[in-house]
Structure 1
Amino acid sequence: MQKTHEQNALTVSYTCIGKGNPVVLIHGFGEDHRIWQKQLPALQKNYKVLLPDLPGTGESTLNSEILSIDSMAEAIKLMLDEEEIKTCIMLGHSMGGYVTLAFAEKYPERLQAFGLIHSTAYADTEEKKEARKKSIGFIQEHGAFDFVKATIPNLFAATFNRTHSEEVQLLTEQGKQFTAEALIAYYNAMINRPDRTAVLKEATVPVLMFIGEEDKAVNPADALAQSALPQVCMVKLIPGIAHMGMLEATTTLNETILAFITTIITLKQDSVKA
């Protein structure tokens, strides 16, 4: 069921499917909630799955003057409050991982566990900031969709691009929804976000790190180093894929998420018995 809620200049549109323990899946840059469509069949039978569109995506309106990683985390809180969900499991892909970390920093009591799917707690390096600024310049000169067309294929491993070109093309076509204003606002939000490795170090709940060995957007070595920071962390390093495990390694990601949730529930049950 598609829902929309607005409060204090924040609008969040989201899909809510299934019943059970709440699981929130947050999409990344240049995507919308449909990026998780291959994860839904594995989750919706036993869990209440919430799929938000971040502000500036889908029906979630953009206010570029206030958009930040933190304001997007507030949009997620608005969704949870509207659904009267006190605690959930939250997983974020790429930029969605940045939003997840911001939420975990501000509202740790609302999380049973959280995960970073091809994402990082590090702030942008100066080199990364300059690359993003160049991308902003490209968007301003050539438009949003030309940028999406040039960028999306680079998020996949070369083999997947060759063997699943229709899926890459479909994701590219879905990028037509984005305005230049929205993409630029996302880039500025990512440039300005702080380092959040402390969130991982101080996490009192289990953390999932899902890593692509050929990922060019998130350095696999950096992600592996961060996996040592939480008290409890499930780590999956997958060979042969890059930044888009939802499509490149659907079965592996689904199995990993289900195993992660099972571990969380088991730990919770053990703590109650103790």
Structure 2
Amino acid sequence: MHTSHIVYQNSFVYYTVYGRGKTVVLLHGFGEDGKVWQPQIDFLQPHFRIIVPDIPGSGKSSFIQDANIDTYAEIIKLILDNEAKKFPLQVNEGIALIGHSMGGYIALAFAEKYPQYLNCFGLFHSSAFADSEEKKQTRRKAIEFIKANGAGSFLKTTIPTMFATSFAEQYPDKIKALIEEGKTFSAKALIQYYQAMIERPDRTAVLKKFNKPILFLMGELDKAIPLQSSLQQCYLPSQSYVNILSQSAHMGMWEETEKANNVLFNFLIANF
């Protein structure tokens, strides 16, 4: 394992590399950093080279003014180019990109701009649809709450809703730890993420055009990305791998770790 960084607009963007072999990039979502993937990192790193960035404004990475979903996708490209200087065969032969929630929006933007880098990609509790007007209004209200009360208070109220009730009741310490991590976020970072998600376009055309495998990993109890919404788009690609986590809401990497790990492993092995 080693941590490295790139510089983008005079800001440092950090990422951690684990294992060796073919390259898998794991992109975290809103209100998280790369550590959210630890159960998957532990499981996958004996078999693959895992690159786990902290999106600008999350974890160790600096906030970047005026960044949006396309900016984050460009940063992933720069990270891969940086790694290709050290391990050209492992990166240039094609990578897998798995994005959770907002990370999936970044994965779609990356697939649209840089499909030549990809062997496959995956949407983990994510969607190619643009926000509905109702969803945009919900995000705008959240922005106002963050401005008034701060990032920590906002994440304290929202993080528990990302989990199935049964998981939250069984593992309150895990929820508490994630809320504690949330105190490290700045209000401006969370506001930027919400603004970026509001402004992102519909990218269902990416699903139709991409001629390599796409993984859909859905939570049956997910309120943030409802199951029905995911099912409406998983038929669009020419090659879809569809998996439903029946006991998960929006955090299947923790809620059903073993099943999620096996789904990811089987998808990656099949497409590398």
Q: TM-score normalized by structure 1?
A: 0.95
Structure 2: which amino acid aligns with 1:80? L
Structure 2: which amino acid aligns with 1:195? D
By how many angstroms is 1:10 displaced?
A: 5.3
Match of 1:226 in 2: 233
Match of 1:51 in 2: 52
Q: Does 1:116 align with 2:116?
A: no
Distance 2:171 2:217 in 1: 21
Distance 2:232 2:199 in 1: 22
Match of 2:169 in 1: 162
Would the aligned equivalents of 1:145 and 1:175 in 2 still touch at CA under 8 Å?
yes
Match of 2:157 in 1: 150
By how many angstroms is 1:12 displaced?
A: 1.8
CA RMSD of aligned residues (A): 0.9
Match of 1:131 in 2: 138
By how many angstroms is 1:2 displaced?
A: 1.1
Over residues 50-104 of structure 1, what are the superposed CA-to-partner deviations in whole Å (9 max), with x where a residue is unaligned? 0000011122111232x10000001111110000022210000000000000000
Q: Does 1:263 align with 2:270?
A: yes
SS at match of 1:130: helix
Would the aligned equivalents of 1:203 and 1:230 in 2 still touch at CA under 8 Å?
yes
Match of 1:96 in 2: 103
By how many angstroms is 1:219 displaced?
A: 1.4
Q: Does 1:36 align with 2:43?
A: no
Q: Does 1:196 align with 2:203?
A: yes
Match of 2:88 in 1: none
By how many angstroms is 1:263 displaced?
A: 1.3
Would the aligned equivalents of 1:10 and 1:75 in 2 still touch at CA under 8 Å?
no
SS at match of 1:83: helix
By how many angstroms is 1:11 displaced?
A: 3.3
Over residues 151-206 of structure 1, what are the superposed CA-to-partner deviations in whole Å (9 max), with x where a residue is unaligned? 00000001011001111111111111100000000000000000000000111110
Distance 1:81 1:135 in 2: 35
Would the aligned equivalents of 1:90 and 1:113 in 2 still touch at CA under 8 Å?
yes
Question: 150-159 or 4-13, which moves further after superposition?
Answer: 4-13
Match of 2:80 in 1: 80
By how many angstroms is 1:238 displaced?
A: 1.6
Structure 2: which amino acid aligns with 1:74? E
SS at match of 1:58: coil
Match of 1:4 in 2: 5
Would the aligned equivalents of 2:9 and 2:64 in 1 still touch at CA under 8 Å?
no
Structure 2: which amino acid aligns with 1:200? L
Distance 1:192 1:64 in 2: 16
Structure 2: which amino acid aligns with 1:153? P
Structure 2: which amino acid aligns with 1:62? F
Would the aligned equivalents of 1:14 and 1:50 in 2 still touch at CA under 8 Å?
yes
Distance 1:255 1:116 in 2: 15
**Percent of aligned positions with the same letter in both sequences?**
46
Would the aligned equivalents of 1:116 and 1:210 in 2 still touch at CA under 8 Å?
yes
Distance 1:150 1:162 in 2: 16
Distance 2:52 2:221 in 1: 27
Runs of 4+ in 1 over 2 A off after TM superposition: 7-11
SS at match of 2:52: strand
SS at match of 1:72: helix
By how many angstroms is 1:9 displaced?
A: 4.3
Question: 232-241 or 246-255, which moves further after superposition?
Answer: 232-241
SS at match of 1:38: helix
Would the aligned equivalents of 2:8 and 2:75 in 1 still touch at CA under 8 Å?
no
Would the aligned equivalents of 1:98 and 1:120 in 2 still touch at CA under 8 Å?
yes
Match of 1:178 in 2: 185
Distance 1:184 1:172 in 2: 17
Work out the number of aligned pairs and report it.
264
